[in-house]
């Protein structure tokens, strides 16, 4: 029931969860764990003059965070979102968790995908040791409506931001720590568990017959670029742009080269 309500939210109340700018070929962005749609503000500003640029909050950032859910539910939400904004298909962009969802969306709804932009993401699952570490990290948050402890929010900055950003742009890091410390604990717990034990989709990448842009920070502490590179061998039409001095949130940390890569990809293919 809860998942049905959440999916309906994207179909019927898109104004509450989306930022929608520009006209033309639709490009829809889905954020990663702990982030929200505002992380794509630089990308929307860069492409909105020529494209319809949409970023949306996944259910962890809405009042539908409480029921447990998985990536298939997030795929259904994306399907409903396209209905809600009146688009038959779009280029789907996803950062980290958003990328996990985007790949699965392309496999489930190929007719609704014109292209993919995968930012600091991968097709393979996290290793067992990583799953255990992440699971233990959020275990105290299960079912909690209290705000996420600031100590935890501060502790995960090393997963989300690269070394250069942490050293040279601490204001950006602190801005997000302040935001994370307001999230209900259960929202973070359910968000992480939506993807933690996901299956590998590497062997199905050959089914993705649309152009794919892979963007990855060279300083990504959570998903090393080498873990994204195998997708180049399996996807029929893909290219990769590595972003120097950027970590796991490369599009937020170093927006200019990411915007350039995205604009070039869109202008060439759409």
Q: What is the CATH number of the domain that holds 96?
A: 3.40.50.1820
Residue 166 domain-assigned? no
Q: What distance in Å separates the CA atoms of residue 34 and residue 175, rounded to the nearest whole number?
A: 12
The model carries a pTM of 0.97
Residue 140 domain-assigned? no
Residue 207 domain-assigned? yes
Count of domains for the chain: 1
Average pLDDT per 10 consecutive residues for the chain, totaling 270 residues: 82 89 98 98 98 98 95 98 97 98 98 98 98 98 98 98 98 98 98 98 98 98 98 98 98 98 97
Residue 176 domain-assigned? no
Judged on CB neighbours under 10 Å (0-12, 13-18, 19+), 108 is middle
Residue 141 domain-assigned? no
Residue 41 domain-assigned? yes
Q: What distance in Å separates the CA atoms of residue 234 and residue 12, rounded to the nearest whole number?
A: 36
Residue 36 domain-assigned? yes
Residue 83 domain-assigned? yes
Length reported for the chain:
270
Q: Which domain holds residue 261?
A: 2-125+198-269
Strands 52-56 and 26-30: parallel
Q: CA torsion sign, 16 to 19 to 23 to 26?
A: negative
Residue 246 has what pLDDT? 98
Residue 2 has what pLDDT? 60
Q: What distance in Å separates the CA atoms of residue 164 and residue 191, rounded to the nearest whole number?
A: 27
């Amino acid at each position: 029931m809860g998942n049905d309500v959440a999916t309906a939210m994207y179909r019927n109340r898109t104004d509450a969860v989306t930022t929608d700018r520009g006209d033309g070929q639709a490009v829809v962005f889905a954020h990663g764990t702990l982030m929200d749609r505002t992380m794509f503000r630089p990308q929307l500003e860069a492409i909105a003059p020529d494209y319809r640029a949409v970023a949306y909050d996944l259910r962890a950032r809405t009042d539908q965070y409480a029921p447990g859910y998985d990536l298939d539910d997030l795929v259904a939400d994306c399907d409903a979102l396209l209905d809600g904004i009146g688009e038959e298909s779009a280029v789907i962009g996803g950062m980290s968790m958003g990328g996990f969802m985007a790949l699965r969306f392309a496999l489930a709804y190929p007719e609704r995908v014109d292209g993919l932009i995968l930012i600091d993401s991968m097709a393979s699952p996290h290793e067992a040791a990583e799953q255990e570490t992440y699971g233990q990290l959020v275990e105290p948050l299960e079912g909690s409506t209290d705000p996420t402890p600031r100590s935890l929010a501060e502790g995960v900055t090393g997963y989300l931001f690269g070394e250069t950003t942490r050293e040279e742009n601490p204001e950006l890091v602190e801005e997000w720590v302040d935001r994370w410390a307001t999230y209900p604990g259960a929202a973070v717990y359910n968000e992480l568990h939506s993807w933690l034990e996901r299956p590998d989709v590497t062997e199905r990448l050959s089914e993705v017959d649309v152009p794919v842009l892979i963007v990855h920070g060279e300083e990504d502490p959570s998903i090393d670029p080498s873990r994204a590179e195998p997708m180049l061998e399996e996807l029929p039409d893909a290219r990769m742009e590595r972003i120097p001095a950027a970590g796991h949130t490369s599009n937020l940390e170093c927006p200019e080269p990411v915007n350039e890569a995205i604009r070039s990809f869109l202008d060439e293919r759409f």
